[in-house]
A and B are shown apart, each in its own frame.
Chain A
Amino acid sequence: MTHTLHRLGRERKYLEEDFVVLVMPSKDINHEGSGPKLRRFLDMALEAGAIKIGDCRKGNEYHQGGIDQVLENVEDRGVVHAVFRDIRALTSLLARLKEADLGMSVVVSGLFDRVEQCCREVGLEKHTVNQSLGRWGRTEKLPADPILELNTMCGHGMVTVSLIEEVVGQVKAGDCTPEEGAERLFRPCMCGIFNPHRAVKLIRAFVSS
């Protein structure tokens, strides 16, 4: 379940605005009674400035019927996420998490040097890292990188190539704004880790290229 890994980014400036924080318990070790702690994390993330939250087990805000439902339906075995667009908000959250000492595992996805910087600022240390070695095999069958950049923000592949092409076409034609298009792309991402803020910038770059 490396769903927050392998987010392709051709330009560093866009990756500077793309961070995902995942929080989960471990089965049979600390999962009993973890639901309220996961819920507390989501509350803290929203207070810190998360632009999206989600739950792998129950689905995103559209699937569940709203942010309140995402918060209310968190279970003990949940795997919850928050998406951030800037490093200051992320740093603020990490400081709060350190203070709260929820006892849940926390994984931050983003530029390694930026995540390390955040950790250093709040007195946390990297424990384990997970690095992507990219795509292997018949890579010539894959679509162009601008599409892959949008597609790989949903690690489960639910933001499809056809949907991306349709949305980009609609933006080009003036039938919807990049913001509306990005939100439409977010909807199928059940874990809620697709970053619509970064998507707006990628769509704009795509349309103008």
Chain B
Amino acid sequence: MKIDQELCIGCGQCVPYCPVKAIALSEETAEIDFDECVECGNCLRSADCPVEAIYQQELAWPRSVRSILSDPLTIAVESGISGRGTEEMKTNEVTGRFRRGYAGIGLEIGRPILGARLSDVDKIAQAVARMGVEFETINPTTSLMSDPKTGKFKEDVLNEKVLSAILEFSLKLERLPELFDILKKVAGDIDTVFTADLACRVNPDGSVPTEPYTEAAGLWLAPNGKVNIGLGRPRFPEDSQ
């Protein structure tokens, strides 16, 4: 994103809308730190610039990945939906993406607030990939890897900054302790934050099969979260039986 310095009147109205604090007021105008800007579009959409000085410059590769992983209204080619993730557990009763005995894992690097360089996403991806996981192919973050088997990212995107990038994969439940150990270690190797989440099909008695593993690892679980209530049709065959 850029601000036309000829038009800008330096009112500062756009400054608080930048999630990564990349807009600063200089002597008479507001300027965007181009290296820090994540191309989320928030200033352009929401700041109501009185002189319409904010404009979207052409987004060429590799900078274009910033918009895909930061602007909530950008539609990723891979998933076909807006945002930086996938349908994940939201349509699980229809897709059967996460079946009994497995957990879906989402690691959103840069969330909340701080954003992330893709070099940090690369570190976590490579650490997790050593478990032999398969990253979700329709997730736009996976498309940025030069080798999804190793989790290594393409060299030319490593310095790109995004609001967040999501690593998605699934594992057999019994491999969760190994994953938790890896995450605890790699959390100390990065310069940002990430959120972690687990998705799973509930047991027939309504209990959550991942909970014995999180409890054993001493991990905190939020009291609130997402529940798919199974209303999608047609049902995945496993559920129809």
A positions within 8 Å CB-CB of B = 1-9, 12, 15, 18, 22, 24-27, 29-30, 56-59, 63, 77, 79, 94, 97-98, 101-113, 115-116, 119, 124-139, 141-143, 148, 151-152, 155-158, 160-163, 165-166, 187-188, 190-191
Collect the chain A residues with CB atoms within 8 Å of residue B225's CB.
5, 109, 112, 129-132
Collect the chain A residues with CB atoms within 8 Å of residue B54's CB.
none
CB B191 to nearest CB in A, in angstroms, measures 6
> In the complex, are the beta carbons of A151 and B113 less than 8 A apart?
yes
> In the complex, are the beta carbons of A129 and B226 less than 8 A apart?
yes
Q: Verify if B19 is at the interface (C-beta below 8 Å from A).
A: yes
> In the complex, are the beta carbons of A163 and B16 less than 8 A apart?
yes
CB A167 to nearest CB in B, in angstroms, measures 9
B positions within 8 Å CB-CB of A = 15-19, 21, 40, 42, 45-46, 72-73, 75, 79-95, 98, 104, 106, 108, 111-114, 163-164, 166, 183, 187-188, 190-202, 206, 208, 210, 214, 219-234, 239
A130 to B108, CA, bound (A): 14
6 A-B pairs closest in CB distance: A1-B85, A127-B230, A105-B232, A162-B16, A103-B233, A130-B226
The answer to whether A138 and B191 touch (CB under 8 A), given A133-B196, A157-B113, is yes
> In the complex, are the beta carbons of B228 and A160 less than 8 A apart?
no
A161 to B45, CA, bound (A): 17
> In the complex, are the beta carbons of A141 and B193 less than 8 A apart?
yes
Collect the chain A residues with CB atoms within 8 Å of residue B192's CB.
137-138, 141
A115 to B208, CA, bound (A): 14
Collect the chain A residues with CB atoms within 8 Å of residue B46's CB.
158, 187-188
Collect the chain A residues with CB atoms within 8 Å of residue B92's CB.
105, 127-128
> In the complex, are the beta carbons of A7 and B232 less than 8 A apart?
no
> In the complex, are the beta carbons of B45 and A104 less than 8 A apart?
no
Q: For A134, give its contact among B90, B202, B222, B239 (CB under 8 Å).
A: B222
Closest residue to A105 on the B side, CB-wise?
A: B232
CB A175 to nearest CB in B, in angstroms, measures 14
> In the complex, are the beta carbons of B197 and A115 less than 8 A apart?
no
Collect the chain B residues with CB atoms within 8 Å of residue A166's CB.
16
A6 to B68, CA, bound (A): 21
> In the complex, are the beta carbons of A110 and B224 less than 8 A apart?
yes
CB B40 to nearest CB in A, in angstroms, measures 7
> In the complex, are the beta carbons of A157 and B223 less than 8 A apart?
no
> In the complex, are the beta carbons of A116 and B208 less than 8 A apart?
no
Collect the chain A residues with CB atoms within 8 Å of residue B222's CB.
6, 8-9, 131-134
> In the complex, are the beta carbons of A128 and B93 less than 8 A apart?
yes
A2 to B90, CA, bound (A): 9
> In the complex, are the beta carbons of B113 and A142 less than 8 A apart?
yes
> In the complex, are the beta carbons of B195 and A79 less than 8 A apart?
no
Collect the chain B residues with CB atoms within 8 Å of residue A104's CB.
231-232
Interchain Cβ contacts under 8 Å between A and B, 10 examples: A1-B90, A1-B166, A8-B222, A79-B83, A101-B231, A105-B93, A119-B227, A136-B195, A137-B187, A137-B192
A153 to B184, CA, bound (A): 26
> In the complex, are the beta carbons of B220 and A125 less than 8 A apart?
no
A79 to B88, CA, bound (A): 13
Closest residue to B198 on the A side, CB-wise?
A: A131
CB B115 to nearest CB in A, in angstroms, measures 8
> In the complex, are the beta carbons of A107 and B193 less than 8 A apart?
no
CB B164 to nearest CB in A, in angstroms, measures 7
